[in-house]
Each structure stands twice: as C-alpha cells, then as structure tokens.
Structure 1
C-alpha cells in the first residue's frame, strides 16, 4: 500500500493573531500502522494578505469583462444574476455601488430598465488592453515553450494547460491565437483519445531557469567560482551557482546546526530541471534538489508566481513530482509559502514578493493595475483578475 501524506490544520492548533507560527499536523499512513507528528510552520502575514487583497479587484475586472462582452457594452442589472449566479450577484451589486468612478448606472425611469456600463474614464483605460495583449504574446509563447520543455515527454495534456491558463496569462482562445498561430513551436496531437499540446522544436537557449537568469544578472555565476570560502549568512542565503534565494518568515530563527545543513544543501550541485526526470533516481539528494528547482521554475512561469496546490498536483505525471509534494514545500519554507487564505490552498514563490507587492509585473498585470487605480487603489494582487480580462478578445 502506498503511503499518503496529509497536511491538516485543526482549529485547536491555529494560533492567535499575535503568533507568527502555526502547528502543521503531518500524518503518514502506511501498511505498517500510523504515526503522527507536529511541525511548526511559520506564517507570513504579508503573503496571507496578498490573497485577501485580490478579492475586490478580481470582482471589478470580472464585471468589466462581462460588460465588454455584451452587444452594446452595457448590462441590465436584472441580468447580473444570470451572469454570476444568485449568491455572487450581491457582491457585484456592491461593487457597482461602491465604485461610481468605474461603473455608471443608467436607465430606471419610465420603460427603460436600469443598466450598468463603464464610465468614460474606464472605457478609455480599457481600450489599452489590446496593446497590453500584444506585448504579452511573445512572453506567453516563450513561457508555454518552457512549460513543455520541462515535461518528461515535451508534451502536456491540453486540459491541464487550460487548468493553469489564468495563472500563465493565456487568453481563452489560446488554442487558436497561440498554438495554431505558431506551428513551428506547437502542435496539438491526439494520443490515446486525449489531446496534448506538443513541443515541435527544442531550443537550448530557453533551457535556462529564472533562478539562473537572476544569478547571471547579478554576476553570481561568474564571481562565485573565484571565491575560496563563502559562508552562509544567518538568513540562509549563500552566494553560489547552485543556491536558492531564502526568504524565511520573520518568526523563524534557524540554529547553528540548521544553517550548517542548509549550507551543505545550498552548495550541492544538481541537474537542470530541463533535463529529463527519468534519468535520475528519486532518492538521490541531487534529484530531490532538482525537484525544488523544477517547482521554482514552474511558479516563475506564472504571471503572479503562484499556483493553487491542486494545479501543482495536476502535473504530477508530466514532471514526475514527488508523491509527498506538500511535505516538500513545507521543508523548503524559505523558498515556498503555502497559504489557505483564499478559497483554495495556494503556493507562492516567496522571493517574487516584497511584502504584499509582486516585484516584477508583466504588461497584463500593469494594465490591470492601471484599471483598478480608478477605484482609488494603487496596486492589486489578483490571481483571478486575468480571467476577467480574458473574456473579451
């Protein structure tokens, strides 16, 4: 019987608001019986807040999309429920009332039914979306090629690409607007009755990770070789070509033995995640470090450097991810952060954030920020926001 790993957060183990950590109960079930243990998982309240901050912007952008999809660029208020459902209707009505700088309500007198449209200012900014999409296209093509190159067979089921489409920034019609548009890079093939997005040509110049690109830009790859003795810093960071950026939570205080073990891990060489995973033994420490690099690269390919846990799990077969994926993410908590603040468990790449702000933003996210600024909010962090702007192409 295969072992299963389950991360459970019971109400009795969740700390009071002043605490910087929580107890994660990890239970391993095997044919030999049961054993349980508790590990402290330090919370990052800034990253938890990222998920809270995306809620209202996501609704605003979704409503924008719905209005733009209408024939006359206006939506009857009675049809809001038809578009979003009875429960969500009230959230959208509240958004319409709260942000008159974005949404204009007209009609309601005589025989004219009340309707909502974008204000002139909102329409003007919305017209810039096409330019943002043009700037996004080469980025999306490159990232989709890299996504396929990371897989063991250089192909991924079409349904799984669709599953993470919002996170990657793909338009809803990406099959037509990207895959079929670039036959030199992609094709769709039927394998055993299942549609796959297939990589047509391998490009070695793309087989460079975001981690390596960052180190190269900082001169680490060149300078590290000339250093005789480089000690790891107290924050876990180490200057070397095989090291990862560590961003421990404020409440985490590593002791000497932890730092010594981390230093050995940071120095350890590992194969590129772009090399086929079948070539390596899973138990090999270098192969396990390669998995960390693979997860790092997958998150780096997304617009906001995060995916839900379910989305990562979905690619278990294509990337030969470990069965105990949650434990892997918890172990490397200086690199990844798991938050349950949203409706779904989400994994974030910690180095991509400075507090609640995403450090690097693509053209589409910058466009979203500009539109949301009409509400009086300067910046947003909205994982679901892209879905709203994708509806109109």
Structure 2
C-alpha cells in the first residue's frame, strides 16, 4: 500500500491536455494589457461607426428615389448591426446632416439623403474613378499572388471598399481590362477572375520598394528575399528586449516572395510560415487603410497557400501586425502604417470616409481616456463614439459590419493566450 501511495500518478495524455486547457485557457479578449494598443482600438471604434453610416448611404443611393420607409430598414438590421430593442430611427436621427426623415399623408416615416449626402456620394464616385489605376494594379497583384492565378469574384468583393472598387465592379469594371484579367464561370456557375498577363513590375513587393528602394522592375523575377519587416511593439510591452537576438535571427531568415511559386513549400515549415507573413504584409500594405477584417484574410488561405492556423501567426507576430478583438469580428492592422490611431499616409478615399464620419452625429465621449484600463472598462455594448447628445436614450453601436467571426476566429477565441514565450518560439533561429 505504501508503495502504491508513493508511486507517481501518471495522468493520461488526453486528461493532461484537458487539465492544461482548464488551467491556462483564456479568451483572446483577455490578452495581456501590455499587448493591447489603445490607439488602434480607438481606430476600430471609428471604423464601426463608419461602416454603418456608409452602408446606409449606399443603400439609399441605390433606391429608385433615394428614399426608403423606416420600417423597410428593419430587414437590414444585420448589416447595420443595430440589434433590437435599439431603434433604427434613433440611429438615423443622430446624423441630421446626412439623413433626413419625414412622414407622408398616411403617417409612414421615410428616410432620405440630405443635399450634403448627395454631394458626398458624387464625390466618392469621382474619387473611385480617379482610383481606377490603383484598383487595377491591386486586383492584379492579388491574382498574381494566388497559386492558380484565379480568384472567386465573391471573395474579391470582400475587398471592394478596401481597394476602392466601384459598387458594380463585378458587372462592368472587371471587363474593362481584358489585357489583365478575364471573367469565367466554372461548372457550378461560380464566377472567377483569371489573370491574363503577368506584370513583372507589379511582382515587386511593397517591402522591397521600401527597404531596397526598387521603383520599377520591368524584368523583375520574384524569388527568395531576406528583407526585414518593420516592427512596432505595443508601447507598454517591456519584455521584448529579452528576445532581441531571436528577433534579429527571424529578420535575417530568407523567405519566398508572395509573387513566387509556392507549390513546393512544405506546410508547417519555418519557410512556409514566414512566406505567409510576407503575403499578409503585402495584402495589407495596399489596402486603403492597411487593415482588414481577419476573416477576409482567412478566406484566402487556400488561394494564397497560407497555413490553416493563420490567426496564430498574426497573434504571435504582434510586432508586425495588431489584432483587435472588439466586437463580433476581429480586425488586423499593419503596425508600421499607423501613428497612434491615425494612418501615416491617407489616400483620398480614406480622407473622404473621415469627412463622412465627421458629419455624422457621433463624437468622442466627454470622459477622457487616459489609460488602457479606461478603454477596457467599456463593455461591448458601449461605443467610444456615441452621439454628443445628452439624451440618455441614445443608442450605442458596437458591432462590426454584417458577418460574424470566421470559424477560425471562434476557435482562436478559446485557445490559450499567447504569452511572452510565444515571441521566442516565433523568432527562434531554426
């Protein structure tokens, strides 16, 4: 009996895994405050407001008379992310410079665009037209990065606003450039965009242009690169100095260009993962706001030859990327592109978007946010940019766009928190 009592108790593997999960598992939302970036969380809140305003502007724009009954908007609650019992009329009433409401003789309440909104819509259409060459280049770049040089049009539509594409790009725009790409349907009647001609100068990555200074590459052939990625760690994160050597080794490690053939790479290898970082860096770098909803990236894992656990890489490399978890959907930023909550370089379409938000009735809270704890004190039902009105019944907007998190996002939200050791694992020299 004594021997039995002193004999070490061996926990079965599956039980040990479960025990570790029970003792160390946290939601991504519980990540260390030292890894959060207060300024970029504010940028996410601004985007949430903008997405709702822009959705309503676009909806009204395509109505025959540019007006719609308020009750008809109820079917768009999911896109507006205004769950009941919040009233859509309250949301609209907060922005009288953009939307106007009136009742007809039957007592039906209608909402329409103000003259200022109509002018803004005209301005956006002009800016999108002027952005045509940039959109052409970036759509072509996406095709050039894809392993089969084809992409489903529905997936490209996820990037429409981020690329500055016109609303009806699938019907008209994609047919304007037959020398670059063409549309075809597969046996299931799904529309795809296929690359027609390779542009060597567009196979030079943004990082090559920035680090090496390559401007034109008429004869450029993409291959192995050994260029460092710009890193900006959270301001409160003090432990990264411990891993300076590992980070240096990571930066020196070669990787395959996002535009080179990646079919030979072995999934799970260090080279495979670093190329995935390069692909995500490249995709984010030519989006208007150098940020994306993460599931828009994860939807392209197969086409861009990226790992299944893409979110893990984004979270590990938080010196390059920043993942915000506020709301239903995660957002990923390219750190180097931001100074605080502001983009370092703003294209005309971003400036236009900021103008629209400035004309809405939503302003910063009167309470000054001094620390991240102040931001953390708001629950998901709050919004940093609620109306400046003193009306206590003012609605609060918190959910991002129309979809929920991707399957991987939901899994990541239940995984163990990435601790300091993950930095070492990510950058150790193998």
**2:230 matched residue in structure 1:** 245
C-alpha distance 133-261 of structure 1, shift in aligned 2 (>3 A): same
C-alpha distance 68-306 of structure 1, shift in aligned 2 (>3 A): same
Q: Helix, strand or coil: the match of 1:170?
A: coil
1:1-393 superposed matches below 5 A: 10=26, 14=30, 20-21=33-34, 42-84=35-77, 87=83, 90-107=86-103, 110-111=105-106, 113-193=108-188, 194-216=190-212, 242-254=227-239, 257-282=242-267, 285-375=270-360
**Cα distance, 1:307 vs. partner?**
2.5
**Cα distance, 1:363 vs. partner?**
2.8
Identify, as 1 or 2, the structure richer in strand: 1
- Cα distance in 2 for partners of 1:80, 1:89 equals 14
**Range with greater deviation from structure 2 (173-182 or 88-97):** 88-97
Give the number of aligned pairs.
337
**Cα distance, 1:162 vs. partner?**
2.7
Deviations along 1:227-263, one digit per CA (max 9) or x if unpaired, are xxxxxxxxxxxxx971111010122224555101111
**Cα distance, 1:101 vs. partner?**
2.1
- Cα distance in 1 for partners of 2:274, 2:155 equals 25
Contact 1:185–1:200 (CA under 8 A) maintained in structure 2: yes
Stretches of structure 1 lacking an aligned partner (at least 5 in a row): 1-5, 22-41, 220-239, 388-393
**2:426 matched residue in structure 1:** none
**Cα distance, 1:112 vs. partner?**
6.1
Contact 1:247–1:334 (CA under 8 A) maintained in structure 2: yes
- Cα distance in 2 for partners of 1:91, 1:363 equals 33
Deviations along 1:136-176, one digit per CA (max 9) or x if unpaired, are 21111110000000011211223322344344333342222
- Cα distance in 2 for partners of 1:358, 1:152 equals 31
**Cα distance, 1:78 vs. partner?**
3.4
Query: Over aligned residues, Cα RMSD in angstroms?
Result: 3.5
TM-score, normalised relative to structure 2 = 0.69
Stretches of structure 2 lacking an aligned partner (at least 5 in a row): 1-20, 216-224, 365-383, 386-397, 404-430
TM-score, normalised relative to structure 1 = 0.74
Deviations along 1:91-114, one digit per CA (max 9) or x if unpaired, are 531232212222222335x54643
Deviations along 1:279-330, one digit per CA (max 9) or x if unpaired, are 3344654443222111101222322222333222221211211223222222
**1:229 matched residue in structure 2:** none
**Cα distance, 1:210 vs. partner?**
1.7
